[in-house]
Structure 1
């Protein structure tokens, strides 16, 4: 019997690895896994097929959350995959038989006579939530085939297959990443020797070719052009392709190898999104899944598709897990929160996130435990993450992102010009590890952090669907989009040029003459979150007109260069705390424009990163900036280097 080891690491610093920065060990992983298993098992219902967990419920929680069990199968399947690994884990003296728990869950969850039956509610059209869950149910059974599937009787197997078939019928079209849930449902059944439909597997895998954009990126829609890029590239497109390759790839080796090369390309840029302390540039939807994004790189490593040193992967996995644990993502009772952290806004949750949905995070442990206990992953010396190796700026044209890292602070920023989605989770200019974005709404609207928001008629706008965009080296973005306020639809052309932890923003605003109210603007830097008991320092500079704030070794600032009326000292937006995705408290420095001209130009400089920041020095970093006659935006930095950003 394996015994969970006590936690041995130190509390985190403000923005950096723990002071001891010790290597991630198997004992540490086992302790965390055992804690999660214990918390989960103690919250099972009487059938063992549903969880009863604190949180904001939705319709899928009726009778208890089936997702809290089906998603735990990611981790249980990985843990039990090696036939010789002990089934029992121990937490604080209490033993939990993971094999018995998994068998009980699957038998009860697929039995129509059980109160925990996962199929009680009728399917909700072609795309039912239980189709999502069916993939890992089938895959976990394949992983544990010698322990569980082999010991189910004929009637139990028939009920399992009937449930998988009920939620594995082909829809009329493939609309997004969901196609891969059908792949895994049928491919794992095939690998178990159970009834399946090969045509569904092939059709869904063919769909991938229609949404692949190159360099490892998939556009999460019915076809290329949806411009929807986020972590589903990792925790579905990546993880499920790798799972298919593991259980069925040998049947189509040419297709398998082609898909694994795409995974390798995706993994090439994966580590660049992480700060030195393991923080991630949180962005997009379903962030309640937290460290689920670790599943893809770990499975990629297992299948030979990880292009970086294994020591880098070991460091990334350990620090990313610790980042969430340190911030209360796992409650004291061992269950997973829907929010990102203990202090972060609950509005990170989408309506489809049930109380058990965060257990999608168990992809990380499913992949981790798929590695042999003596795998070199556990013994290889850790190696630095990209941001620890040196400063970088990378442009990703497929999603329309620029990613920048600064070695001195270990912080990383993701700038978005091209990917579409909701305004708070996709529409900000920047998503930064040092200053995570505000996700909560104030008076029904997103806050102006990392954004130029037009104002008028008592309302304020926010960037929504884009009209055009481009990104390029050495780190610029340009985008054209609309905002609707004051009875009009107004056109904005924004250019961003990134230079370390500074970036310049330049906007050309063309107002709609049909507007029925004067149109102003408010523009925010990034929100500076801080821990309870910390008192941030607030700075307003009369000479530059800039505004800034600093706390815990981090700082944000915004300085006007052209077109603004005034700065607004950093404070909680409209007095609202609990808007931030990570922190319970934050302050946001702003610039304002009282009334925009029909054609108005705005230019400002923003700092997001380490403290202190000198507002005068920030203002002086630009020698000249403006638009040329053909629409090109030209920026000359103080050092003399010039960047031309072409018009769209």
Structure 2
């Protein structure tokens, strides 16, 4: 379906090209503006905070595109609507007043956009406000200072409000700044990494939340808070050397974790790095990441017929949405447009686009319990030990699989009864012979060292599994040491591939291979425990990258009461590059598992568990 109003073949080579895209994204929403209102109503579904706040969110998230345009010297079309909507929404006497905020209120999230607006574009905005209207705006935003919020990246929202107040000479609250920065300091892990709150995941919120806002602060508050700004820049520079490994040569990024509907916010960090002049990679490298990323997204069917961004990942898909994803939520992706605040003369725009720098084949990130693997035409990640404690929808599929891929994405669970519903790709699933499946959820312990990730997990209280994940060349090897007090069925899946056109299936004892015209996804059993190969096909709309049904190669076996060792090797990528003879080999001797592939060799001592 070709969306109206969006130029999908935009080459995105110049500042003017990006300005055109921002305006098209904003203008596609303009038919849904409500006259004399301060909300935008895009659709009939909503989020847990209700329709009115969801419509206020839609309007507010458009400001992430409006603000860089204004800061860069360009008024967006319908600017008068944005001005009037802000006046109405912050006026307690107006029928469309946005209201008084409650603890953990979604409106506090949206206030960050107004903080940036006041910080970098207060002149073109406030020129249209009288003193009473400025007072209303200040008073409404001031609610963020001391209101109770979740203990995570939300702490940056009131901070951004204070930055805005500072730059437009509104009264500030220094104590609020200190309180919120101190809260976030408690979950700084080192080497540029935070967790998203105490004991929380290390996902895209670290980039599009902590460091995105931190770099804005470092740029805009350097004159009044130089020491903190220096620290924020140093941490961002450290983080950048890891985060660059999340991006493939074609511009795609690894889908992982919650809030995937924010889409191109995945690369918002790099726009903030350019905005702040962070000197960690050449400007051309940063420019290349941002522009390739946006080009990749323009190739995805993410718009509806009116050119409005859908909720979903690569296509409209409410099934994968969190309960806080409303119709306008995807417009948080406009945070990537921060580079439009930079003038044409800035180094970012003057630079020639450069490719990604050369990488080692494997890159380990201990703070995130991740290993990134740079395979030709396939970037993928091994991971362990992350769990979203809020138990958002499909938490296990989004955080707890063994691997995530730019090329094959991952599937989400449609139910636990029936293997085709249970999202078995990149997972070991177990059932008590009743077709009701459980996989890895929380981990008792995790260690990332020596090029592998170890985790211990318990799908039942009397079933303990020690898992090692290790890359060998382009292969992924998994070793599971299971102790079970119950009889179980076990299946272990490789990467999923599209089931259209129908792939060829090669299933036999100890192997399953799914082949399409372009792709092969294969899983091999390397352990003596007998397992047979088979394929499962998931329902439509279960894979984040392709709407058609997904085909997944599996190994299936039965486990008696006792101790078992399961070893598997997984490969996926270009069909023309697959060499089954390169499959690793494994040997078990005296409690030591040795895995060998060519010159690569790893040893795991089972009786000396970490």
TM-score, length basis structure 2: 0.91
Residue aligning to 2:146: 169
In structure 2, C-alpha distance between the alignment counterparts of 1:44 and 1:501, rounded to whole Å? 50
Matched residue SS, 2:64: helix
Matched residue SS, 2:223: helix
Deviation string for 1:199-252 (max 9, x for gaps)?
Answer: 01011112232211111110111x4xx041100101110111122223333211
Q: 1:174 to 1:458 in 2, by over 3 A?
A: closer
Matched residue SS, 1:148: helix
Alignment of 1:84-483 (within 5 A): 85-88=73-76, 96-97=77-78, 99-119=79-99, 123-124=101-102, 126-171=103-148, 175-221=151-197, 223=198, 226-342=199-315, 345-365=317-337, 367-386=338-357, 389=358, 392-406=361-375, 408-409=376-377, 411-421=378-388, 422-443=395-416, 446-456=422-432, 457-473=434-450, 475-483=451-459
Residue aligning to 2:537: 572
Which runs of no fewer than 5 residues in structure 2 stay unpaired? Answer: 389-394
Give the Å deviation of 1:334: 2.3
Residue aligning to 2:474: 501
Contact 2:582/2:597, CA 8 A, preserved across alignment: no
Give the Å deviation of 1:46: 2.3
Q: 1:138 to 1:570 in 2, by over 3 A?
A: same
In structure 2, C-alpha distance between the alignment counterparts of 1:30 and 1:197, rounded to whole Å? 35
Matched residue SS, 1:251: coil
State the aligned residue count. Answer: 592
Which runs of no fewer than 5 residues in structure 1 stay unpaired? Answer: 10-21, 89-95
**Segment drifting more, 424-433 vs 603-612:** 603-612
In structure 2, C-alpha distance between the alignment counterparts of 1:57 and 1:133, rounded to whole Å? 16
Give the Å deviation of 1:61: 4.5
Residue aligning to 2:392: none
CA RMSD of aligned residues (A): 2.4
Deviation string for 1:56-75 (max 9, x for gaps)?
Answer: 31244424611111111111
**Segment drifting more, 345-354 vs 396-405:** 345-354
Q: 1:611 to 1:294 in 2, by over 3 A?
A: same
Matched residue SS, 2:221: helix
Q: Which residue, out of 14, 17, 24, partners 1:35?
A: 24
Contact 1:546/1:615, CA 8 A, preserved across alignment: no
Contact 1:448/1:523, CA 8 A, preserved across alignment: yes
Give the Å deviation of 1:289: 0.8
In structure 2, C-alpha distance between the alignment counterparts of 1:428 and 1:478, rounded to whole Å? 13
Deviation string for 1:504-525 (max 9, x for gaps)?
Answer: 11101111x3x4xx31111110
In structure 2, C-alpha distance between the alignment counterparts of 1:55 and 1:168, rounded to whole Å? 33
In structure 2, C-alpha distance between the alignment counterparts of 1:237 and 1:56, rounded to whole Å? 29
Contact 1:135/1:184, CA 8 A, preserved across alignment: yes
In structure 2, C-alpha distance between the alignment counterparts of 1:451 and 1:337, rounded to whole Å? 29
In structure 2, C-alpha distance between the alignment counterparts of 1:618 and 1:187, rounded to whole Å? 56
Matched residue SS, 2:33: coil
Deviation string for 1:390-411 (max 9, x for gaps)?
Answer: 55211101011111112x32x2
- Alignment of 1:71 with 2:61, yes or no, is yes
In structure 2, C-alpha distance between the alignment counterparts of 1:539 and 1:558, rounded to whole Å? 12
Q: Which residue, out of 581, 590, 598, partners 1:617?
A: 581
In structure 2, C-alpha distance between the alignment counterparts of 1:65 and 1:489, rounded to whole Å? 48
Contact 2:6/2:25, CA 8 A, preserved across alignment: no
Residue aligning to 1:51: 40
Contact 1:297/1:306, CA 8 A, preserved across alignment: no
Contact 1:23/1:382, CA 8 A, preserved across alignment: no
Matched residue SS, 2:331: helix
Contact 2:8/2:299, CA 8 A, preserved across alignment: no
Deviation string for 1:589-631 (max 9, x for gaps)?
Answer: 1111133442111011100222146574254x32x333754xx
Q: 1:497 to 1:600 in 2, by over 3 A?
A: same
Give the Å deviation of 1:196: 2.7
Deviation string for 1:452-503 (max 9, x for gaps)?
Answer: 0111144110111111111124x3111111113xxx5411101111023211
In structure 1, C-alpha distance between the alignment counterparts of 2:297 and 2:25, rounded to whole Å? 13
TM-score, length basis structure 1: 0.86
Contact 2:496/2:552, CA 8 A, preserved across alignment: yes
Contact 2:216/2:275, CA 8 A, preserved across alignment: no
In structure 1, C-alpha distance between the alignment counterparts of 2:600 and 2:66, rounded to whole Å? 58
In structure 2, C-alpha distance between the alignment counterparts of 1:53 and 1:627, rounded to whole Å? 62
Q: Which residue, out of 497, 501, 504, partners 1:538?
A: 504
Give the Å deviation of 1:282: 0.4
Residue aligning to 1:639: 599
Residue aligning to 1:559: 524
In structure 2, C-alpha distance between the alignment counterparts of 1:508 and 1:290, rounded to whole Å? 37
Q: 1:167 to 1:200 in 2, by over 3 A?
A: closer
In structure 1, C-alpha distance between the alignment counterparts of 2:547 and 2:8, rounded to whole Å? 26
In structure 1, C-alpha distance between the alignment counterparts of 2:19 and 2:555, rounded to whole Å? 49
Matched residue SS, 1:508: strand
**Segment drifting more, 446-455 vs 189-198:** 189-198
